[in-house]
C-alpha cells in the first residue's frame, strides 16, 4: 500500500485515562490507517480474562456495534487468549499496542533491510502467541486430541524458529557490510553524528536542512524507518562529519522491536555524538514522558550519556518564540543542550559550532 493511500477502517480504542496516553494511541491508530470513532479509557487494561473487566467487555460490544467499527484497538499487550475472548464478545478484530506499532512499521518499510527487520519483529510477536493459536485450532478440529495439539505446537515453534534464523542471517549479512562501511568511513577520519529522538520530534527536518536533502518529513508517526547517512561539510571550516537520520522512538516500545531494529539503531552506538531531538512545543508533561523514554531506549542501546547533546526543537511554536528559559526546566539539567527550530532555521549557527567543537574533542578521545 502506498504511503499516501488512506484507508478508513473504523476503530474503537481503549486506553489509559491520562492525556499523553490518549493522544499517543490516537496518533498511532491514525498512522496505522484507522479512523478512531470512539476513545474509551480504563484505569486497568491488563485484567485476566479480557484485558478489561467483564462488564466493560460487554459495553465495548455495544460501542463497536453503534460505531459500525471493525477493529478494537487495545493500548496494551494482550495475550492471544485475551484477544480471542475479547474478539468473540465484541465481534471486532482485536489489535493490541504491539500489533498496531508493527502494522505501522510494515506499512512504512521500504528498504530490504527495514522489511527484514519488520518480518523479524513479526515473528517475535508471534512466538509467545503461537502456542495458544495452534491449541485453539487443533482443539476446534479434533476435540480431545490434546497430544496432537502439543505436536502441532512443536511443529509451529520449530517453523517460526527456522524462519527467524533465516532472517537473522540475512540481516547479519547486511549488518556486516554496514560495519565494513563504518570502518571505511572511520579510515577517512570522519566523526559520526547521529540523530535520535521521539518519533515526529523533527529529526528528518534537521537532517534535510544540514545535509541539503529532501527525505520525507511528516507529522505522522514513524515516517523514517531506514537510516540515511550523508557527509556534511561546514561552510566556514574544512571539517566534515557524517550525519545519520534514523527511526524514532516511542514510549512502551517493546524491547524485541528495538532489537529487531538494532542494525538500524546501531548507528547510535557507534556515533561520536548523538543529537537527541526533543519537541518542546508540547506540554511540559509530554516533553518529560518522551525525554525519559528516549533516555531509556538510548541506555538499552548502550549509548554513552556523555555523547548526547540535547536539541530542543520547534522553538518557533513557543509563545515567546523561544525567548523564555525553557532550557532551565529541571528535567534538562543533566544535559548540555541547544535550542533550535529545524523548520525556521533558528539556532543553526550555534548548532553547527557545537557539532564542530564536540566532534573535534570526541575525535581525539576516540580509540583508533
Nearer residue to Mg ion within complex by CB, 83 or 271: 271
The distance of closest approach from Cβ of residue 292 to ligand GTP in the complex, given in angstroms and rounded to an integer, is 17
According to DSSP, the β-strands at 228-233 and 71-74 are unpaired
| Stretch in the footprint of Mg ion (CB under 5 A) among 34-42, 97-105, 222-230, 256-264 | 222-230
- Give kind and range of the element (H or E) at residue 20: helix 19-31
Q: What is the pattern of x (binds ligand GTP, CB under 6 A) and - over residues 175-194?
A: --------------------
CA atoms within 13 A on the CB side of 365: 11
**Binder of ligand GTP out of 137, 218, 233, 361 (CB under 6 A):** 218
Candidate residues 117, 223, 263, 264; the one interacting with Mg ion per rule CB under 5 A: 223
In the complex, least distance from residue 257 CB atom to Mg ion, rounded to whole angstroms: 17
Tell me: does residue 316 bind ligand GTP (CB under 6 A). yes
Q: Which does 302 bind (CB under 5 to 8 A by kind): Mg ion, ligand GTP, none?
A: none
Interaction of residue 297 with ligand GTP, rule CB under 6 A: no
User: How many CB atoms sit inside 10 A of residue 51's CB?
Assistant: 26
Question: Cβ(243)–Cβ(190) under 8 Å?
Answer: no
DSSP H helical ranges for 68-145: 80-90, 97-108, 112-141
The span of 144-152, 255-263, 289-297, 311-319 binding ligand GTP (CB under 6 A) equals 311-319
Q: Please give the span between the terminal C-alpha atoms of the chain, in angstroms, as a whole number.
A: 45
**Cell for 28?**
498511532
Cell 565494513: give the residue: 180
Rounded to a whole number of angstroms, the minimum distance from the CB of residue 245 to ligand GTP is 7
11-19, 66-74, 216-224, 350-358 -> range binding ligand GTP (CB under 6 A):
216-224
- Given ligand GTP, Mg ion, none, residue 221, with its beta carbon under 5 to 8 Å by kind, binds ligand GTP
- Collapsing DSSP to helix, strand or coil, 43 comes out as coil
Cell of 285: 508533561
Residue window 328-367: x/- pattern of binding to ligand GTP, with contact defined by CB under 6 A? -------------xxx------------------------
Contact with ligand GTP (CB under 6 A) among 80, 201, 244, 264: 201
Q: C-beta of 225: minimal distance to ligand GTP in Å?
A: 8
What, of ligand GTP, Mg ion, none, does residue 15 touch, CB below 5 to 8 Å by kind? none
| Distance between CA atoms of residues 23 and 49, nearest Å | 27
Task: Assess 224 for contact with Mg ion (CB under 5 A).
Answer: yes
Show contacts of 46-55: CB within 8 Å, 24+ apart. 46/76, 46/78, 48/82, 49/82, 49/85, 50/82, 50/85, 50/86, 50/89, 51/14, 51/76, 51/78, 51/82, 51/86, 52/14, 52/86
Residue 204, interface with Mg ion (CB under 5 A)? yes
Instruction: Please say which residue, 191 or 202, places its beta carbon nearer to ligand GTP.
Output: 202
- Number of amino acids touching Mg ion (CB under 5 A): 4
Q: Which three cell numbers stand for residue 357?
A: 567543537
Q: Is 199 in the site for ligand GTP (CB under 6 A)?
A: yes
Looking at 50-58, 94-102, 146-154, 199-207, which segment touches ligand GTP (CB under 6 A)? 199-207
Kindly determine how many residues on this chain lie close enough to bind ligand GTP according to the rule CB under 6 A: 23
Q: How far is CA 312 from CA 273, 309, 346, in A?
A: 16, 10, 11
For residue 277, how many other CB atoms are within 10 A of its CB?
Answer: 27
Which residue is at the shortest CB distance from ligand GTP? 248
322 binds ligand GTP (CB under 6 A): no
Pairing of strands 273-279, 192-197: parallel
Distance (Å, rounded) from C-alpha 154 to C-alpha 135? 11
Examine residue 205 and tell whether it contacts ligand GTP (CB under 6 A). yes
By three-state DSSP, how is residue 39 classified? Answer: strand
Residues that bind Mg ion (CB under 5 A): 203-204, 223-224
Residues that bind ligand GTP (CB under 6 A): 197, 199-205, 217-219, 221-224, 248, 313-314, 316-317, 341-343
Amino acid at each position: 500500500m502506498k504511503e499516501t493511500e488512506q484507508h478508513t477502517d473504523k476503530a474503537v480504542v481503549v486506553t489509559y485515562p491520562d492525556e499523553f496516553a490518549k493522544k499517543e494511541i490516537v496518533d498511532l491508530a491514525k498512522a496505522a490507517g484507522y479512523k478512531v470513532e470512539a476513545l474509551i479509557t480504563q484505569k486497568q487494561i491488563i485484567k485476566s480474562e479480557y484485558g478489561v473487566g467483564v462488564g466493560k467487555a460487554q459495553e465495548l460490544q455495544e460501542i463497536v456495534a453503534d460505531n459500525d467499527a471493525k477493529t478494537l484497538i487495545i493500548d496494551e499487550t494482550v495475550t492471544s487468549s485475551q484477544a480471542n475472548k475479547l474478539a468473540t464478545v465484541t465481534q471486532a478484530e482485536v489489535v493490541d499496542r504491539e500489533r498496531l506499532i508493527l502494522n505501522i512499521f510494515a506499512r512504512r518499510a521500504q528498504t530490504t533491510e527495514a522489511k527484514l527487520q519488520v518480518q523479524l519483529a513479526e515473528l517475535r510477536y508471534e512466538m509467545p502467541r503461537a502456542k495458544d493459536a495452534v491449541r485453539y485450532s487443533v482443539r476446534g478440529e479434533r476435540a480431545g486430541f490434546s497430544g496432537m495439539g502439543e505436536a502441532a505446537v512443536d511443529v509451529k515453534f520449530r517453523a517460526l524458529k527456522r524462519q527467524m534464523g533465516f532472517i537473522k542471517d540475512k540481516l547479519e549479512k547486511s549488518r556486516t557490510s554496514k560495519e565494513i562501511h563504518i570502518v571505511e568511513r572511520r579510515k577517512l577520519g570522519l566523526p559520526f553524528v547521529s540523530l535520535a529522538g521521539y518519533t515526529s520530534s523533527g529529526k528528518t527536518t534537521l537532517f534535510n536542512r544540514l545535509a541539503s536533502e529532501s527525505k520525507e518529513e511528516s507529522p505522522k508517526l514513524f515516517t523514517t524507518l531506514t537510516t540515511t547517512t550523508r557527509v556534511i561539510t561546514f561552510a566556514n571550516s574544512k571539517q566534515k562529519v557524517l550525519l545519520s537520520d534514523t527511526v524514532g522512538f516511542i514510549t512502551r516500545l517493546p524491547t524485541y522491536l528495538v532489537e529487531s531494529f538494532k542494525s538500524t539503531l546501531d548507528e547510535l552506538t557507534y556515533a561520536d555524538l548523538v543529537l537527541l531531538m526533543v519537541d518542546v512545543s508540547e506540554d511540559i508533561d509530554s516533553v518529560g514522558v518522551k525525554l525519559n523514554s528516549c533516555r531509556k531506549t538510548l541506555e538499552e542501546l548502550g549509548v554513552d550519556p556523555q555523547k548526547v547533546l540535547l536539541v530542543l526543537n520547534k522553538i518557533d511554536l513557543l509563545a515567546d518564540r523561544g525567548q523564555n528559559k525553557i532550557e532551565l526546566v529541571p528535567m534538562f539539567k543533566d544535559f548540555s543542550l541547544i535550542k533550535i527550530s529545524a523548520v525556521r532555521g533558528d539556532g543553526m549557527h550555534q548548532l553547527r559550532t557545537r557539532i564542530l567543537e564536540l566532534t573535534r574533542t570526541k575525535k581525539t578521545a576516540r580509540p583508533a
